[in-house]
Chains A and B, each alone.
Chain A
Amino acid sequence: MQRLGLFLLTTALVIAPLAMAAPPEYTLIIKNHRFEPSEVMVAAGQKIKLVVDNQDATPEEFESHSLNREKVIPGRSKATIWIGPLKPGTYDFVGEYHEDTARGRIIAK
């Protein structure tokens, strides 16, 4: 699963600049109530697609006030969240159901 995520991420990173129409895609994995990676670098100034892959058995709620986003991700499933276009800066997010461990941020450059 992780390899697939990495593959998708790499594919997205390679393909995105080639196909201008397709927005860049980033994958975030939830495992043991933690985000991997906990920091995601994304492109500022354009719409991006964030795929959150919850590999835990329990549901999680991706929530970010700074991004104005909230989405429940059931256990062992993936969810797509459209974000941006973002101004350069740092945007915190949490897994609301496990806020003490599930924390991360998006850095838009």
Chain B
Amino acid sequence: MLGSAIIVFREVLEAALIVAVVMGASRGAIGRGRWVSGGIALGTIGACIVAAFAGRLSDALEGRGQELFNAAVLLAAVVMLAWHSVWMSAHGRRLAEEMRRLGHDVVIGAKPLYAIFVVTALAVLREGSETVLFLYGLAAGGTGQFALIGGGVLGLAAGVGLGFALYRGLLRIPLRRFFTVTGWIVLLLAAGLAASAADFLAQAGALPALSPELWNSSAILSQSGLLGQILHILVGYQDRPSGIGLVFYIVTIVTVVALMRWVGGHRHDAGRASLAASNTS
């Protein structure tokens, strides 16, 4: 039972932490709870479908189906997170200022909730399908139903609990810095997912690894440990990163920051102009 709890915990953790970051970063948006719940529900249904067709998916595209599917899911999440970051670069500062002025969260309707919905659904889809397959294997392998359900529930609860703890932790960041800090976490999260996508493409033989192991810091901070795993999810830490993974990581950061600067600069001027206009009128 403990064994199955640990595996379910590990699988759930990634989705739980991503949802926590997304929930934190979308603070103040109207109906975000509904969008996130919808994303979790859709992701869970999708995970069951993916698990049911795991065999066919694995055989598809000359045995590269699973890797290409994972890479596609990850890259789609990267695009959505990038969109969120770029949107925040245009609106985040004003949002934080208003929240500080009023002393509480303001509600805004225009936040990119589709992005939040899609990221949540994709995170649950990817990790959920592995959990479903694992539990299916246990059930088929004759583990007692009680142990199976008990372990699964325990692992799920622990994963969700850690996600919730992270969310509460994020909310303690002072408002002045809130969107800056969550913005950086979203950016690094996106970069880490892009690096994972690169590794899947290398595993499929679709991209060269460049170097399969740039360095090995597993003795300092192992990726198998809880802290290493959490940092892997949140900021893309890898104890033995590949060359192609690092390239994807850096390219993602540089691209998104450039877009943020560009859009943020433009919109900021526009925002100041409209603010000035409304003051004079």
Contacts and interface: CB of A to CB of B under 8 A. Distances in A.
Partners in one complex: yes
B28 to A, nearest CB: 36
A83 B7 CA distance: 25
Q: How large is the interface on A (under 10, 10 to 19, 20 to 34, 35 or more residues)?
A: 20 to 34
Top 4 nearest A-B pairs by Cβ distance? Answer: A58-B137, A82-B205, A74-B55, A80-B63
B202 interface: yes
8 contacts: A57-B140, A66-B240, A67-B212, A68-B240, A72-B130, A74-B54, A77-B55, A78-B63
Consensus secondary structure, chain B interface:
helix
A57 B240 CA distance: 32
B203 interface: yes
Given A59-B54, A77-B55, A100-B3, A71 B66 contact: yes
Contacts, number: 91
Contacts of B134: 59, 61, 96-97
A43 to B, nearest CB: 14
A84 B199 CA distance: 11
Nearest to A86: B212
A73 B209 contact: no
B203 A97 contact: no
A10 B92 CA distance: 61
A82 B208 CA distance: 10
Nearest to B202: A82
Given A61-B130, A68-B212, A68-B240, A97 B7 contact: yes
A74 to B, nearest CB: 4
Interface string A53-75: 00001111100011111011111
A59 B133 CA distance: 7
Contact of B203 (A58, A60, A81): A81
B97 interface: no
B255 interface: no
A84 B242 CA distance: 10
A73 B58 contact: yes
B58 A58 contact: no
A81 B212 CA distance: 14
A79 interface: yes
